[in-house]
């Protein structure tokens, strides 16, 4: 049967995406310990002459894995993360004052990103209240006798995420624990680009299965796959 | 001090005795990870901060899904009844107090149950990850660690010298020497492991015991 409507198609090539990435931009990246970082988009950034990035990501992966490569190659000047312990380059650059690091408890960071994604100004959290390394002079408020830190929302110029499957509208399904921060990051970018293993035709994703609605996704690009060796693969 | 493989396994085995059927439990990296091997006879829901409830044992070689990993980045499996969710939901479980227990390592623990396990100023500043929320919100916090540090100094102290992860949060400490409960009034010595004596434990603990309710336990796994 012939269709008479013009379908929305957010599919795009890596080459066409290059214009969205510039030095000095803020970049939010989904993933946790490298798992769920979008490998082809990261590789593309590494191959471009881009630096001075503000990176927002759960962690800095490992030196040669995922988003960790952007750190290792000194493309990042400011970092928002909860943990850098698996990437010694991040720690060294922080000590050498080449990298400004803003640390947050993991759940707080996730909520700051989620808040940005759902259009809130911020969130109130009690994790770390009274802890000088967490509070750092942050504003607090008291509700029903409980003190909370006021944590502003985070958004970014561009969010990049990794998913298992998308349709041309950008509806996303993830793979097991590669979901992690990706659905949150997908909502928090002014432009969101999803790198996916597979793009299937309209109708092949059951609306019931969709984790991230395509309305949050601007572009979908097919992944060329992981080009690194996972830490556990090394013998 | 570095602990041998056998001692690490025995600490894990002892910690497993604290876990009951139906519990929701988060295991940290290192010795806590080993605890899962000793609860196979109980239905326990293990929680991973990246977004899984119901993690199972490591897959056999060649069966790994690189996307299915624990919070330490190592391949795992998911058991029947497991669920995947985003990291915000993973911490909703923590923040809402749905974790019955968290088992983690430590650099120092005070007699009040203060926990320091995330930062050594000027040396190691890896970021707090999820430790702070886990320690602050889990119903029960169990610490598995060597009794003394690499410098030979006690890791159980009256006041932590390192920056705190969370205050008054630790309930039980299991080391290569002893099992120590932390109660409001102070530390209670519950078990001493062979080959150590009661005096060894007292001499290597940097805070007093308010009570000694002690059993001598073999460490040879018998």
Taking only the tens place, the pLDDT of each residue in B4-23 is 999 999 999 999 999 999 99
**Are B87 and A32 inside 8 Å of each other by CB?**
yes
Closest CB from B49, B126, B132 relative to A134: B132
Using 50, 70 and 90 to split pLDDT, how confident is the model at B1?
A: very low
Average pLDDT, integer, range A83-112: 96
Q: Find where tokens 């030095």 sit.
A: A23
Q: Which domains does chain A have, with CATH numbers?
A: 14-119+154-225 (3.40.1080.10)
Give the distance from residue A1's alpha carbon to the nearest chain B alpha carbon, in angstroms.
38
**Are A83 and B75 inside 8 Å of each other by CB?**
no
Q: Which of B47, B10, B16 is nearest to B221 (CA)?
A: B10
pLDDT value of position B29: 86
Average pLDDT, integer, range A74-78: 98
pLDDT value of position A4: 74
Is residue A141 within 8 Å of residue A130, measured between CB atoms? no
pTM of the model: 0.95
pLDDT tens, A103-155?
999 999 999 999 999 999 999 999 999 998 888 888 999 999 999 999 999 99
Q: How many inter-chain contacts (A to B, CB under 8 Å) are there?
A: 140
Q: By CB neighbour count within 10 A (0-12 exposed, 13-18 middle, 19+ buried), where does B202 fall? A: middle
Q: Which residues of A touch B71 (CB under 8 A)?
A: 32-33
pLDDT tens, A8-66?
999 999 999 999 999 999 999 999 999 999 999 999 999 999 999 999 999 999 999 99
pLDDT value of position B222: 34
Give the distance from residue B133's alpha carbon to the nearest chain A alpha carbon, in angstroms.
6
- Put simply, whether B72 touches A (Cβ < 8 Å) is yes
pLDDT value of position B220: 44
Least confident of A191-195, A214-218, B29-33, B79-83: B29-33
Structure tokens at A215: 């309305």
- Interface predicted TM-score of the whole assembly (ipTM), two decimals: 0.95
Q: Which CATH superfamily is domain B5-217 in?
A: Glutaconate Coenzyme A-transferase (3.40.1080.10)
Whole-angstrom distance, CA of residue A96 vs CA of residue A100: 10
Catalytic sites of B, residue numbers: 49
- Put simply, whether B65 touches A (Cβ < 8 Å) is yes
pLDDT at B57 over 50: yes
pLDDT at B139 over 70: yes
Q: Which residues of B touch A127 (CB under 8 A)?
A: 95, 132-133, 136-137
- Mean pLDDT over each residue of chain A, to the nearest integer: 96
Give the distance from residue A4's alpha carbon to the nearest chain B alpha carbon, in angstroms.
38
Using 50, 70 and 90 to split pLDDT, how confident is the model at B125?
A: confident
Average pLDDT, integer, range A216-225: 98
Domain spans of chain B? 5-217
- Distances from the Cα of B31 to the Cαs of A54, A100, A184, A231, B142, in angstroms? 35, 32, 31, 19, 12
């Amino acid at each position: 049967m012939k269709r008479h409507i013009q379908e929305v198609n957010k599919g795009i090539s890596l080459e066409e995406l290059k214009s969205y990435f510039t030095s000095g931009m803020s970049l939010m990246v989904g993933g946790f310990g490298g798992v769920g970082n979008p490998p082809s988009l990261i590789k593309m950034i590494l191959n471009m002459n881009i630096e001075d990035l503000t990176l927002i990501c759960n962690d800095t992966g490992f030196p040669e894995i995922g988003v960790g490569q952007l750190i290792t190659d000194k493309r990042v000047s400011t970092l928002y993360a909860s943990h850098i312990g698996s990437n010694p380059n991040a720690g060294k650059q922080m000590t050498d004052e080449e990298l400004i690091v803003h640390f947050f408890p993991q759940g707080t960071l996730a909520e700051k990103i989620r808040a940005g994604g759902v259009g809130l100004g911020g969130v109130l959290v009690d994790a770390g209240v009274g802890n000088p390394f967490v509070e750092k002079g942050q504003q607090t408020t008291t509700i029903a006798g409980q003190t909370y830190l006021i944590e502003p929302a985070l958004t970014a110029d561009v969010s990049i995420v990794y998913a298992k499957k998308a349709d041309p509208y950008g509806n996303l399904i993830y793979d097991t624990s590669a979901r992690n921060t990706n659905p949150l990051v997908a909502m928090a970018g002014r432009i969101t680009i999803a790198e996916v293993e597979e793009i299937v035709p309209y109708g092949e994703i059951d609306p019931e299965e969709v984790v991230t609605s395509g309305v949050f996704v601007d572009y979908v690009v097919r992944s060329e796959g992981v080009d690194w060796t996972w830490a556990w693969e090394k013998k | 001090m570095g602990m041998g493989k056998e001692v690490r396994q025995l600490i894990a085995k002892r910690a497993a005795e604290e876990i009951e059927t139906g519990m929701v439990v988060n295991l940290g990296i290192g010795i806590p990870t080993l605890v899962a091997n000793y609860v196979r006879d109980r239905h326990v829901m293990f929680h991973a901060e990246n977004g899984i409830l119901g993690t199972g044992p490591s897959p056999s070689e060649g069966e790994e899904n690189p996307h299915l990993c624990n919070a330490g980045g190592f391949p795992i499996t998911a058991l029947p009844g497991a669920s995947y969710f985003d990291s915000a939901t993973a911490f909703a479980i923590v923040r809402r107090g749905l974790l019955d227990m968290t088992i983690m390592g430590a650099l120092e623990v005070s007699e009040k149950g203060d926990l320091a396990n995330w930062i050594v100023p000027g040396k190691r500043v890896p970021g707090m990850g999820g430790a702070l929320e886990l320690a602050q919100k889990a119903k029960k916090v169990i610490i598995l660690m060597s009794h003394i540090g690499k410098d030979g100094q006690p890791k159980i102290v009256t006041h932590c010298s390192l920056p705190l992860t969370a205050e008054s949060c630790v309930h039980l400490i299991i080391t290569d020497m002893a099992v120590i409960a932390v109660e409001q009034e102070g530390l209670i010595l519950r078990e001493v492991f062979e080959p150590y004596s009661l005096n060894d434990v007292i001499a290597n603990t940097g805070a007093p015991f308010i009570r000694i309710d002690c059993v001598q336990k073999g460490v040879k796994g018998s």
